[in-house]
Amino acid sequence: MKELNLSLHGGSYRCDLDRVAQVQTPATQGKWVPIPHIAVHQAVEKAITNAGLRIVTQIHALAANDQRYFGMYQLVNGKENSEMSLVLGTRNSSDKSFVAGIAAGEGVFACDNLAFWAEVVLGRKHTTFINRDLPGMCNRAVGMLAEKWTSLEERVTAYKAHEMSDTQAHDFLIRGLDAGAIVNSQIPNVLREWRTPSIPEFAQAGKTAWRLFNAFTENYKPAEGRHGVENPAVLMKRSQVLHGLMDTECGILIKDKPVIDIEPAQNAEAN
């Protein structure tokens, strides 16, 4: 497994998390809501745990009089001894220089100005509710990467082969809730679909990840008697998070696949 390599320029320096936590955060100014650098790390760390991934290496750096932060994490699936790993990069600023961002891929590169280049890049402006949205943004990044690396046929085959106990399903349900794949009000419906599927195919197939996956997606459909569907953007985000969590659960997230595309950070600055 390759080691992380972070090149620092222009006064940037590597530091530990204690130093990151000591950096003072400016006060809110109107619609601009800066967040502590350490809060970005904590949100990312929690989302990584929710996804069932494990951090094997992490490095952190500060720049511009500590007003800019960059973190890089090397992750493994936790179920496979693979030479491949997922790299997650994070950044934050308290000088309005760039949005809080997350990049994910087999490799992540950040220019001197901390513009991200990777398979998946997401950004969030420093506005109201940024603390609430950070964990979901990280989970979505992992889910989007999983969608790029895993074919539909490979995914379905793996889901059908992965047996799950009720205890495992219940644990996954809570992780799905924490990650944003469902909301509180959907928990009873997901449990009902898991225990007594409304579609005979899933009832006959036994208790597998495929059955649980469809218990989730059945709840993405509009409720009976309700017209229209939920916001498509919300459904897409929930689906991406669900794929990321389930691909990790089934041990197929970390794969030796080529990079599909490179997306510069400026294409993903918007919330």
Q: DSSP letter string over 86-108?
A: EEEEEEEESSSSS-EEEEEESS-
- Domain segments of the chain as ranges: 13-133+259-268, 152-249
Q: Is the full-model pTM beyond 0.75? A: no
Q: What is the pLDDT along the chain (271 residues), one digit of tens a residue?
A: 445 555 555 567 889 999 999 999 999 988 888 999 999 998 888 877 776 777 888 989 898 899 999 888 887 755 444 444 677 888 899 998 888 888 877 556 555 555 555 666 778 888 887 777 877 787 777 767 666 666 666 778 889 999 999 999 999 999 999 888 899 999 999 999 999 998 888 888 789 999 999 999 888 776 544 444 455 567 767 877 888 888 888 887 654 443 333 233 333 333 3
Cβ atoms of 8 and 61 within 8 Å: the answer is yes
- Report how far residue 208's alpha carbon sits from residue 191's, in angstroms, rounded to the nearest whole number: 14
Contacts of 234 (CB under 8 A, 6+ apart): none
